[in-house]
Structure 1
């Protein structure tokens, strides 16, 4: 069982399904991503770096693309969803727009590639 699977097992089926959908979308964007744990959160990793984490919160969910820059760049596409320096807050009824989510995941992947250099 992966870290992500273990985390999802702790949630209600409806909550787990919301998060599972975001992880599935990330895997279509970055098929090389794998489940892991970074900064105490179950997440998807890419090249052993955090790619994206989605957690349940009291108010709904929070998405963390492991950096403040992807959130800042996506802010105009978030339709007013609340943000923190490194995260986006959303609910099951008011999710993260696809363009914003895709942009954050791709930016994080590209940043990891720029930082680590070409893969071998």
Structure 2
């Protein structure tokens, strides 16, 4: 098991399913990403840098691409999804209103492009 798997094992089923789905989309987009940590959070790591982390908070699920620019790249699409929100470097959503796979792919691709520089 890795850090992401360990984190997922401790979640409630609805939260786990929503978070696993985001990680699955990210892994499909960047298959060479590995489990690790970023700023103390379980994360997928690409080329030694954190790619994304997805975590349950008290009020929402937060998707953290470790980049305000990556969030800005998908901001318009996020605003179209019910029960979502944006903050600098964070996309917030609820398990009953998951982020569309295309949006997650775009966010991950934007972060990967930054890492690739």
TM-score, structure 1 normalization: 0.89
> Hey, what's the Cα distance between the residues in 2 that align with 1:82 and 1:14?
19
> Hey, what's the Cα distance between the residues in 2 that align with 1:91 and 1:75?
16
Match of 1:25 in 2: 25
**How many residue pairs align between the two structures?**
114
Larger Rg: 1
Structure 1 unmatched runs, 5+: 115-120
Q: CA deviation at 1:110?
A: 1.1
> Hey, what's the Cα distance between the residues in 2 that align with 1:109 and 1:31?
11
Structure 2 unmatched runs, 5+: none
- Deviating beyond 4 angstroms after TM superposition, the runs of 4 or more aligned structure 1 residues are none
CA RMSD of aligned residues (A): 1.1
Match of 1:34 in 2: 34
Q: CA deviation at 1:58?
A: 1.3
Higher relative contact order (CA 8 A, sep 6+): 2
> Hey, what's the Cα distance between the residues in 1 that align with 2:76 and 2:33?
26
Select between 7-16 and 53-62 the one with higher mean Cα deviation: 7-16
Partner-residue secondary structure (3-state), 1:83: strand
Q: CA deviation at 1:99?
A: 2.6
Do 1:38 and 1:50's aligned partners in 2 also have CA atoms closer than 8 Å?
A: yes
Write out aligned runs for 1:1-120 (5 A).
1-78=1-78, 79=80, 81-114=84-117
Do 1:44 and 1:50's aligned partners in 2 also have CA atoms closer than 8 Å?
A: yes
